[in-house]
Amino acid sequence: MTSLDKVKQRAEFDAKAHGYYLNPDPEFLLNLLEGLRKNEERYGYPSCPCRMATGEFEVDRDIICPCDYRDPDVEEHGTCYCCLFVDSGTYASKETSPIPERRPMEKQLRAYGIAGEGQPELKQEPSSMLMNIGTGRKILYCKQCGYVVFREEPPYVCPICRAKREMFAEVKARLFFSTGS
Amino acid sequence: MTPKVAGENSDHRVVLYTLSTCGWCKRTKQFLNDYNVEYEYLDLDTATSQERIEAIQFLQEKNVPIGFPVIVVDGETIISGYKPDKIKEALGF
């Protein structure tokens, strides 16, 4: 079982690494950390405490803390969606308020068991890379540092070098899989 | 099943849609507790899938963005997010 201290340490480390701060309200922060701990316990990963998760990793991947939307949200609003991560201005003012949801509606609806229109259901727990072909995921790389991801959309910000989303390009290569014989 | 929290201020029927882990939801519940407001709440993450779907369909019918908390006062006034001033206004405080 993940302890609250471990969840806090992880959040502090991540905030420091990216130049953010944790929510300045100790009680609010504790509630969020406890929410993350609870989600990690029941789903196996710390999904955002302020969003509905399904327990299916592939469906929830974008809302696992730190979520895909944190960087653009902190940049635009001074805080992420759940207000765990804030920028220096928000931290100094000690005032946070709710911000609009950036997660696409079809992903939200999927979390409630309502499939978005025209959106194919994601496969659960793909066991191999081959199975992922056809689910809309692409091999994308950061043109600045070479970081490679395999997902539907590029991240808003490169987690390695902080390059913006526009710096990601798709690897258009044909993949060959060896059988090892 | 919607748990009910008793309070002296029960002139309005107040229903909350919340997540059990959400910071703003906790703050909203605390706000209503502080004002001694009677309310019902449904934590969608611990609700049954049927309850969850019904709640989301209700919010979609009312054109409310899906986000938590959602406060419904007398089935008519809908407040999306933690907005203490609007809650007070809706409850006549």
In chain A, which residues have their Cβ closer than 8 Å to the Cβ of B20? 35, 38
- So what's the pLDDT on residue A151? 83
Q: What is the mean pLDDT of residues A18-28?
A: 94
* Partner-chain contact A31 B20, CB within 8 Å: no
- A107 to chain B nearest CA, in Å? 11
Q: Model ipTM?
A: 0.89
Better pLDDT: A79 or A120:
A79
Residue of B nearest to A96 (CA): B24
Q: What is the mean pLDDT of residues A3-13?
A: 94
Q: Torsion angle, CA of B21/B24/B26/B28, rounded to 10 degrees? A: -150
Q: How far is CA A123 from CA A39, A58, A150, B29, B70, in A?
A: 21, 8, 15, 37, 31
Residues of chain B with pLDDT under 70: 1
Please report, for chain B, the start and end positions of each structural domain, with discontinuous segments joined by +.
4-91
* Partner-chain contact B21 A38, CB within 8 Å: yes
pLDDT band with cut points at 50, 70 and 90 for residue A175: low
Q: How far is CA A157 from CA A48, A72, A127, B3, in A?
A: 18, 8, 28, 41
CB–CB contacts below 8 A, A to B: 64
Q: Which of A147, A133, A141 is nearest to A176 (CA)?
A: A133
* Partner-chain contact B22 A49, CB within 8 Å: yes
Q: Tokens 């309005």 appear where? A: B12
pLDDT digits (tens, 9 = 90+) for A89-146: 999 999 999 999 999 988 898 888 876 544 444 444 444 444 455 567 889 999 999 9
pLDDT band with cut points at 50, 70 and 90 for residue A181: low
- So what's the pLDDT on residue A156? 81
- pLDDT for residue A1 is more than 80: no
Of B24, B49, B65, the CB nearest to A50: B24
Residue of B nearest to A114 (CA): B53
* Sheet with strand B77-80: strands edge to edge: B4-5, B39-43, B14-18, B70-73, B77-80
Residue of A nearest to B81 (CA): A98
In chain B, which residues have their Cβ closer than 8 Å to the Cβ of A56? none
Q: Which of A64, A46, A28 is nearest to A155 (CA)?
A: A64
Q: What is the mean pLDDT of residues A150-164?
A: 84
Identify the residue among A83, A101, A103 best suited for mutation to test binding to B, counting B beta carbons within 10 A and taking the highest: A101
Of B27, B56, B82, the CB nearest to A114: B56
| Number of helices followed by number of strands (H, E) in chain A | 7, 5
- Topology (CATH) of B4-91: Glutaredoxin (3.40.30)
In chain B, which residues have their Cβ closer than 8 Å to the Cβ of A109? 56, 66
* Partner-chain contact A32 B23, CB within 8 Å: yes
Q: What is the mean pLDDT of residues A80-93?
A: 96
Which domains are seen in chain A, by residue range? Answer: 4-111 (3.90.460.10), 129-170 (2.20.28.10)
**Chain B CB within 8 Å of residue A32 CB:** yes
- So what's the pLDDT on residue A163? 86
Q: How far is CA A132 from CA A21, A55, A128, A149, in A?
A: 36, 19, 7, 13
